[in-house]
Amino acid sequence: QVKAAVKSAVKDDDRRRAVMVFGLEESASEVVQDKLKDVLRVSCSTARLLVKDCHRVGAVRTGFVRPVKATFHSNETAALALKCGKNLRGTRYSKVYISPD
């Protein structure tokens, strides 16, 4: 029972440190981390948000853009990324949305 409780707590903590980014254009020769860094730089220019890991989620399908799952080092950084997501309106990333995982 203790092991199950610890696993559940760790999983919840991992999910608090992750966000999903929808609408980020996809190309065959892309570097997802660079695109994500640019989105975060545009949205939250005053803070430097360090991404621990990021990758596209789902199978490749023509005509669809797969979301990006980004994991940060802390849940405070993820919360700041979510808060700054509203600043993408009116920029070249106006169709990009950041939501909690």
Per-residue pLDDT, 50: 86
Per-residue pLDDT, 18: 92
Residues in the chain: 101
Per-residue pLDDT, 6: 63
Per-residue pLDDT, 13: 64
Per-residue pLDDT, 5: 66
* Per-10-residue mean pLDDT, the chain, length 101: 66 78 89 91 84 91 92 90 91 93 84
Alpha helix segments (H runs only) across 1-101 = 2-16, 32-43, 75-84
Per-residue pLDDT, 9: 59
Instruction: Name the strands in the sheet holding 51-56, side by side, starting at the edge strand that comes first in the sequence.
Output: 51-56, 68-72, 18-22, 97-100
Per-residue pLDDT, 30: 85
Closest Cα to residue 73, out of 99, 56, 53? 53
